[in-house]
Structures are given as structure tokens and as C-alpha cells.
Amino acid sequence: MSRLALIDAGGANLGSVSYALERLGVEATLVRDAAGLEGAERVILPGVGAAPEAMRRLHAQGLVEPLRRLQVPLLGICLGMQLLFERSEEGDVECLGLLPGVVRRLHPALGIRVPHMGWNRLLPLRESSLLEGLPPQPHAYFVHSYGAPVTPHTVAACDHGGLFTAVVQHGLHAGAQFHPERSAETGARILKNFLDIPA
């Protein structure tokens, strides 16, 4: 792979994602504007925080339309995955619209805390190259208060007071709601599998 673009959308996980990629032998190029996407063979959109602020920053950087037009594999991580969907209930904001569905707030209940923080099990729903090499129900590390719906593009779900999308893949667009950079072997494998997707 000649060039991996890592988008700086202000997420606190930018550094840890970069280190996780370095452990896989990949050096990512930090991108803060549309020009930085030129020549990229793969793009990763990490994110931590609120959807309205993240979309405001992407608009300010002139990245929204270029991301919508991308013709190379794109992986959203945590909030970055949520931004791939049509809208988020958080601030009722329009997102990138690359995947169908509305991201909604998780609902607390007896024994169900929001935010959802900690290790939880992935429940595979269909075959995907993103899950190759993983055990049947691997564990991953989550930190979030909003979740994307389960759709035909959901590769794996997670149950926290109800099912939400944990891994999604549709064409060149993919996402992980959990933090691969904090999910030990599960996270490293999913990052590697994304890097191996034909560009």
C-alpha cells in the first residue's frame, strides 16, 4: 500500500489509531483538507466526541464532499463510523450519508449504563472479509452513547440494552463502532483486514 490517509477531525483517538497502524507496519498520512486525500489508496476516519462538532469540522476542512465522492476503501472508527450514516440524533445533524440509517441514543435500563463503556462481544451476522481470522464471538472495547441501527449492511452487532451495529461494510465503506486501537488482537485483526481490502 503506497498511501493511507488518516483524517484529523479533532478526535482524541487520532494518536492511538496512528500507533495501532504503526504496529502493523503502516505509516499513515495525517489529512486536514481535501488536497490531503489526493492519491490515497485507503482512508480512515477516526472520531471521539459529538457528531455536530465533528461534522462542523469536516465541513470547515472542505472534506465532506470529497469523502462522499471517495472511490477507495474508507473505514470509520467509533464516531467516525456513525458519521458514515445519513443522520445522527445527536444534535439532529446530517452526516455523510454513505450508509442508510439514523444513529440514535442508547437507552439506559436496569443494568444498562450509558455511555456504553468497556469490553463487549461482537455478534457476527454475515460473512465479511473484515472478520476473517477472528473467533466466532470476539470481544472489543467500546466507549459511546449513540449507536447505528442494524441494517442489511451490518457485519456484526453488539447487544447493550438492544442490538446496534458494531461492524458495518457496504461496498468500499466500512466502520467499527468499537475502538480497534484499544481492542487487542480483535482490533489489530480488523485493522489488518481493512488494509488488505483491494483498493
Burial 82-94 (b: 16+ CB within 10 A, else e): bbbbebbebeebe
Mean predicted confidence (pLDDT) in 122-134: 97
The sign of the torsion formed by the CA atoms of 119, 124, 130, 133 equals positive
How many angstroms separate the CA atoms of 117 and 177, rounded?
12
Name the band, by pLDDT with cuts 50, 70 and 90, for residue 16.
very high
Global pTM reads 0.96
* Residues catalogued as catalytic: 78, 179, 181
Per-residue pLDDT tens digits for 91-121: 999 999 999 999 999 999 888 999 999 999 9
Q: Could you tell me if 84 and 176 are in contact, meaning their C-beta atoms sit under 8 angstroms apart?
A: no
Could you tell me how far CA 136 lies from the centroid of its own chain? Answer: 21
Per-residue pLDDT tens digits for 34-80: 999 999 999 999 988 899 999 999 999 999 999 999 999 999 999 99
What pLDDT is stored for residue 5 in this prediction? 97
Q: pLDDT exceeding 70 applies to what percent of the chain?
A: 98
Name the band, by pLDDT with cuts 50, 70 and 90, for residue 1.
very low
What pLDDT is stored for residue 15 in this prediction? 86
pLDDT at residue 14 tops 90:
no
HEC secondary structure over 90-128: HHHEECCCCEEEEEEECCCECCECCCEEEEEECEECCCC
Name the band, by pLDDT with cuts 50, 70 and 90, for residue 182.
very high
Domain ranges (residues) in the chain: 4-195
The three cell numbers locating residue 35: 488536497
Q: Could you tell me if 141 and 118 are in contact, meaning their C-beta atoms sit under 8 angstroms apart?
A: yes
What pLDDT is stored for residue 100 in this prediction? 97
Residue 65's SS3 state is helix
**Topology given in CATH for the domain delimited by 4-195:** Rossmann fold (3.40.50)
132: which DSSP letter? Answer: T
Mean predicted confidence (pLDDT) in 128-146: 96
Give the length of the chain.
199
What pLDDT is stored for residue 110 in this prediction? 86
Mean predicted confidence (pLDDT) in 135-140: 95
Q: Give the chain's mean pLDDT.
A: 95
